[in-house]
Amino acid sequence: MDETFLQIGNNEYMDSNIVRKLGKNDSFIYSNEIRFIQNNESIVKKKQITAREYIELLEQKDTSKKQVRKIR
């Protein structure tokens, strides 16, 4: 599994924005996870995305953070 942190811009309520690539060989599932704070509560929104959306979101990669690769 590869996790890439994206830039969150000037949004003071957004905590993190992450895209994930999970799978092996040539079969992958892509997802986007956004964490933010609303009314003093931590909220996590996850959704499955297409490969094209994944590639487009990778262009917003946060260069100050490294990509995480988890091996199971």
Residue pLDDT, tens place only, 33-62: 999 888 889 999 999 999 999 999 999 999
Please count the CA atoms within 13 angstroms of the CA of 32 that sit on its side-chain side.
17
Entry pTM: 0.82
Per-residue confidence (pLDDT) for residue 27, from 0 to 100: 95
Whole-number Cα distances in Å, 48 to 10, 14, 30: 25, 19, 6
Residue pLDDT, tens place only, 3-20: 999 988 776 677 889 999
Residue 24 has phi, psi (to 5 degrees) of: -155, 170
Average pLDDT over residues 25-37: 93
Per-residue confidence (pLDDT) for residue 51, from 0 to 100: 96
Q: Which helix (H) or strand (E) holds 68?
A: strand 68-69
